[in-house]
Amino acid sequence: MDLYSQPVPSRHPPALEPLLLPPGNYPTPPSLSTPANVQSLSQALAMDPPTPPTWQPAGNPTLDPSRTTTDNTHVEVVPNEPDPPHALRRRYKVQKERKMVFCCGGRLVTGSRIAPFLLAVLLIVIPVALFCVFECSFIWHQVSPVWVILFGYITLLVFNNMFRASWTDPGILPQDLHVDPLAYVTAGEPALVGARTSYPNTSMYPGVDPALAYPLSTKEVLVHGMAVRIKYCDTCRIYRPPRASHCRLCNMCVENEDHHCAWLNNCVGRRNYRYFFLFVLSTTALSVYVFSFALWHLLKPIVQELPNKYGRPFTFGDSLGETPISLALMIYTFVFFWSVGGLTVYHAYLMARNLTTHEQIKSSYSRSRRPRGSPFGRN
């Protein structure tokens, strides 16, 4: 059979195919033989033809079954239409189902529950204001102005680290980096048990490879020459780096997440952990400072045996009647010290062992399970 006698796929849209005639010699229609029609036809041919629409396939062309004839001799290739162009947007603007508040072009990040943070600010502002009104004058004249300046510096340090820990990006990981986890399935990686199935019942699909019926929920990567297993996050659709965790309150994966602090209204992770630790450390120092000088203000008349208004030596009742705010500050800072002081000691212990709160609670990186020479020892 001659090669050129094979049917050739049409290059014209189906709507125009009935109007096209097979090649051959045909008589010219009488209407086109007049000089006027010939001149109009010449002018029309001299004009620039309209620009046809340009096809820009976004991917591989697909075969449309509706354009295939019964004898499979005519198959039209329909290219995929290109996706509409999207303007460049910052990554935080395309985060899906986010529960964070982004300000100043994404430079300030905090949670959506602001009430606990405002309460924490008030728990610090109120005792500081009382100390300034009732104690600073006594310290300035009876002790030394240097201690008042030191009090101002510690207070400034507390609020600076508090707001930086609350409004700094804790290390939010971008979403949709690994949308198709099956693309990472290799021959050396076994199918893992416990992941969600792609189908309700895999027995209904005998032609599907069982390994492909399960998304690859974990995989191994090398960190400092050691194999570390990382997990796939179904919510963020990424493989989380080592030591990263997904925060259900923020609905985002955070790098080196330690915990979610409701008082700071933010997660504590890789980028703001230093501010969190300096905040609890400076708050502990402020509690000790306020307690010490409130106690001294209360006991100084008694120790120095100063006379009261009746000419007798000061008693504890007399001193308490003169400065009742000092006793209130002592009680408040004593309770406050044990909460933030214990937190400071706990995180100092975690830093000494190079652990996060998640790792310490879950014991995933404890001494009993962690091999000698941790890959995170040089972080």
Boundaries of domain holding 279: 91-172+267-362
The answer to the question of residue 215 being in a domain is: yes
Q: What is the longest distance spanned by two Cα atoms in the chain?
A: 138
The answer to the question of residue 261 being in a domain is: no
181 in the same domain as 108? no
340 in the same domain as 275? yes
The answer to the question of residue 301 being in a domain is: yes
Euclidean distance between CA atoms 167 and 272, whole angstroms: 9
Cα atoms in the 13 Å half-sphere on the side-chain side of 326? 22
Nearest to 291 by CA among 140, 146, 127: 127
The answer to the question of residue 39 being in a domain is: no
The answer to the question of residue 57 being in a domain is: no
Inform me whether the pLDDT recorded for 9 exceeds 60: no
Q: Write the pLDDT tens digit of every residue in 307-352.
A: 666 666 667 777 777 888 999 999 999 999 999 999 999 999 999 9
The pLDDT of residue 173: 87
Residue 80 to residues 65, 76, 179: CA-CA distances in angstroms?
A: 15, 13, 21
The pLDDT of residue 98: 62
* Cβ atoms 76, 14 nearer than 8 A: yes
- Mean predicted confidence (pLDDT) in 247-264: 89
The answer to the question of residue 282 being in a domain is: yes
180 in the same domain as 167? no
111 CB contacts (<8 Å, ≥6 apart)?
Answer: 99, 100, 101, 117, 249, 250, 265, 266, 267
283 in the same domain as 218? no
278 in the same domain as 156? yes
Inform me whether the pLDDT recorded for 222 exceeds 60: yes
152 in the same domain as 200? no
The answer to the question of residue 258 being in a domain is: no
274 in the same domain as 354? yes
- Kindly report which listed range (34-43, 98-107, 172-181, 196-205) carries the lowest average pLDDT score: 196-205
Inform me whether the pLDDT recorded for 82 exceeds 50: no
Euclidean distance between CA atoms 179 and 215, whole angstroms: 11
Nearest to 339 by CA among 271, 265, 269, 261: 261
Beta bridge partners of 259: 268
Interaxial angle between packed helices 324-353 and 273-303, expressed in degrees from 0 to 180 and rounded to the nearest 10? 140
| Average pLDDT value for the chain | 72
Residue 46's pLDDT band, with cuts at 50, 70 and 90, is low
The answer to the question of residue 232 being in a domain is: yes
304 in the same domain as 217? no
DSSP code at position 371? P
Q: Which of 194, 225, 240 is the last residue of a domain?
A: 240
- Kindly report which listed range (110-119, 141-150, 174-183) carries the lowest average pLDDT score: 174-183
DSSP per position, 261-287: ETTTTEEE-TTTHHHHHHHHHHHHHHH
276 in the same domain as 164? yes
The pLDDT of residue 344: 96
273 in the same domain as 226? no
Q: Write the pLDDT tens digit of every residue in 280-314.
A: 999 999 999 999 999 998 888 777 766 666 666 66
Residues belonging to the active site:
261
The pLDDT of residue 359: 86
| 298, amino acid identity | L
Euclidean distance between CA atoms 152 and 137, whole angstroms: 13
183 in the same domain as 137? no
How many domains in the chain? 2
Euclidean distance between CA atoms 302 and 314, whole angstroms: 5
165 in the same domain as 201? no
pTM: 0.63
